Amino acid sequence: MHVTRIYTGPDNESHFEDLDVPLREGPYGSISKLVPLKGVAFRETPLGAALDFHNAPARQFVITLTGRVEIECGSGEKRQLGAGEILLADDTTGRGHITREIEGPRRSLFLPLAEEVDVSAWRVA
């Protein structure tokens, strides 16, 4: 399953990385290992809202349910994420990223990760 990760590089800027969550066959389709979380937050953001450079407040999955967001890294690289797409916001240091709501309202779920979650095995070769 595809996840877009945003992380802080050695240059102190945010960058994108594509991840692939490993799935294994289960009794009802394919499933990943359990990922420990701290909780869930629900957000609704209006069309046209924007948040200048900021860091993720915690390592967290952000799942867009409706609407569309554009995320811009310090390098100028931009990506758009829409309904059903998953972001791993992992840039808790550095300059951060810009968020713009380009279709809305955008409804999303924020799922902060437990401290011990390691996604290094998820990297796409």
Q: Which domain holds residue 96?
A: 2-122
Task: Report the alpha-carbon distance of residue 117 to residue 65 in Å, rounded.
Answer: 23
Task: Report the alpha-carbon distance of residue 120 to residue 100 in Å, rounded.
Answer: 28
Cβ contacts of 26-33, under 8 Å, gap ≥ 24 = 32/1
Q: Give residue-wise pLDDT tens across range 60-108.
A: 999 999 999 999 998 899 999 999 999 999 999 999 999 999 999 999 9
SS3 assignment, position 112 = strand
The CATH number assigned to the domain holding 83 equals 2.60.120.10
Q: Which amino acid is at 110?
A: F
Q: Give residue-wise pLDDT tens across range 26-69.
A: 899 999 999 999 999 999 999 999 999 999 999 999 999 999 99
How many distinct helices (H) and strands (E) make up the chain?
0, 10
- Full-model pTM: 0.92
Task: Report the alpha-carbon distance of residue 16 to residue 76 in Å, rounded.
Answer: 11
Task: Report the alpha-carbon distance of residue 10 to residue 101 in Å, rounded.
Answer: 28
On whether the CB atoms of residues 47 and 22 are closer than 8 A, the answer is no
Total domain count, the chain? 1
Rounding to the nearest 10 degrees, give the CA dihedral for residues 35, 73, 101, 20.
-30
Task: Report the alpha-carbon distance of residue 92 to residue 81 in Å, rounded.
Answer: 20
Vertex 39 angle, CA 13 and 85, to 5°: 55
pLDDT at 12 over 60: yes
